[in-house]
Amino acid sequence: MACSAMAFFASGIFFRGFTVFVPAVRDSLGLSQAQTNLVFSVARAEGGLEGPVAGWAIDRFGNRALLVPGIILAAIGYFVFAGFVHSYLTFALVYLGMISLGNSIAFQHALFAGLNQWFRRRRSLAISTLAAVSSLGGLILVPVMSLIILNLSWRWAILGAGGAYLVAILPFTLMFRNRPEDIGLLPDGDTSPPLISTGAGSTARNLEERDYTVKEALRTRAYWMLMLGAGLRQMATIGILVSIIPILESKGVSRQTAANLTGAIFGINFLSRLALGYLGDKWPKSGILGATLALEAIGFVCLFFGSWNDGRFVLLVMFVVLEGFGDGAGIIVWAALGEYYGRDKFASLRGIITFSHSWALVAAPVFAGWAFDHYGNFDLALIPAIGLAVAASLCFFLVKKPPQLTQEAAADQ
């Protein structure tokens, strides 16, 4: 509950809410779409760039040691941004060096790694519930911040964001605990570690399950396929999502209606993540990921051909539905990582994956902005997004769960 409450505000303000700041900051500072996208996309990639270091620090010192400083840094960054950003240079320095850095450390790494420590059997549902509530933050806070920006200014919206981090997020860290073992418990409320049955007949034995080390995980095909699929998925979606409000505006949608439609995507995220989280504990996660990425590809086709001012508005509505449902499954990647490789090195393994495709989080949005600056629309960015979503779908379908390891196996190595 504490993690979900923090994710609600952090996602609605930073991870989802940045979409309403893209056109506002662009117009206020007199920037091009490519310049604006560059800063916001580097901010999205920052969590990946620092992933290996943050993952190591979390596994070494605990999640809370990074969570609290990250939230405080982000809050101070919002206050500085509201009062002192008047140029492209200060925009980039404050947003990347304070707001994005604090959010990435706290919410892209510490929060999810901490939640993964508390669950095994219901890991998908737990992580997806956290992600679903974060989508609910986008549904509610994105239209609200858009109204503040349109009726007051983006600086007032940024100032309110900083206050929300101190008043609505930071107090929940008092409830946060790194691991159930820290207070004498085990994941899922178990009273003993999980056992794996090996052999048959007189040779049958129950051995205690153990987690993969980083080196062991890197030697499995599943890890590399997850990494490739996650990278292709980010390449397909991030360029679109960073520019989603300008893209919808180019299709004839007003700015506030575009913000409302973006909020609707996050609302559908909320429902799909709850449903897929429940199914993720029962169905193969690779199949869920493959199927939902295929739906996202269809959604991008609808966005490419859609228009708000004629009968093709139905295609834009279809995009909102398909993107909301398909993007909601992205969190299953981390549920699969935890299921396949365990809790001990989850943060490190996750950090390597986010680092591997961090470059794409910069390249895709900048390319989308460049396409708009030169051609007046985003069609050139939508075409490769469709192919990349299809490739990610195929990649996830090929993922096979690696074998479970036991404590006896550890002694033999």
Domains, the chain, in order of start with CATH, read 2-178+212-400 (1.20.1250.20)
Residue 411 has a pLDDT of: 43
Helices 346-356 and 332-341 pack at an angle, to 10 degrees, of 130
Confidence bin at 75 (pLDDT 50/70/90): very high
Strands (E) in 50-140, as ranges, are none
Q: Please give the structure tokens belonging to residue 343.
A: 């809790």
Mean pLDDT across the stretch 237-252? 91
- Over residues 109-156, the pLDDT tens digits come to 888 788 888 988 888 888 888 888 888 888 899 899 999 999 999 999
Is the model's pLDDT at 344 over the cut of 80?
yes
Question: In terms of DSSP bridges, do strands 205-210 and 195-198 run parallel, antiparallel, or are they unpaired?
Answer: antiparallel
- 290: Cβ contacts below 8 Å, ≥ 6 apart: 393, 394, 395, 396, 397
pTM of the complete model: 0.81
pLDDT at 203: 58
Q: Dig out the tokens for 127 from the structure.
A: 């992580």
* pLDDT attached to residue 410: 44
Closest CA to 10 of 240, 168, 177: 168
| Lowest mean pLDDT across 98-102, 165-169, 200-204 | 200-204
Burial category of 128 from C-beta neighbours within 10 Å (exposed 0-12, middle 13-18, buried 19 and up): buried
Strand partners, 208: 195
Q: Is 195 helix (H, G, I), strand (E, B) or coil?
A: strand
Provide the terminal-to-terminal Cα distance of the chain, rounded to the nearest Å.
40
Question: What does the block give as tokens for 328?
Answer: 């909601």
- Within 10 angstroms of residue 277's Cβ, the number of other Cβ atoms is 26
**Nearest Cα to Cα of residue 34 among 404, 410, 365, 386:** 365
**Each residue of 357-386: pLDDT tens digit?**
888 888 898 899 999 999 999 999 999 999
Quick one: which of 277, 376, 378, 365 has its CA closest to 329?
A: 277
The residue to which tokens 């890197």 are assigned: 218
| Alpha-carbon distance values, 20 to 17, 29, 40, 241, 359 (Å) | 6, 15, 11, 11, 23
pLDDT, one tens digit per residue, over 281-322 is 889 999 999 999 999 999 999 999 999 988 899 999 999 999
Q: What is the pLDDT of residue 59?
A: 84
* CA dihedral over 203, 204, 207, 212, signed as positive or negative: positive
Residue type, 117: Q
In this prediction, residue 200 has a pLDDT band, given cuts at 50, 70 and 90, of low
Distance CA 110, CA 163 (A): 21
Q: Phi/psi of residue 386, each to 5°?
A: -65, -50
121 in Cβ contact with 194 (< 8 Å):
no
Q: Is 334 exposed, middle or buried (0-12, 13-18, 19+ CB in 10 A)?
A: buried
**DSSP type of residue 184:** T
Share of the chain above pLDDT 90, in %: 59
For residues 40 and 99, the answer to whether their CB atoms sit within 8 Å is: no
Which residue is it, tokens 């499995």? 220
Say if CB 149 and CB 27 are below 8 A apart.
no
What letter would DSSP give residue 178? S
Q: What is the band of 198 on the pLDDT scale with cuts at 50, 70, 90?
A: low
Cα distance between residue 309 and residue 212, in whole Å? 54
Q: If you average pLDDT over residues 23-29, what whole number do you get? A: 93
The average confidence (pLDDT) of the chain is: 90
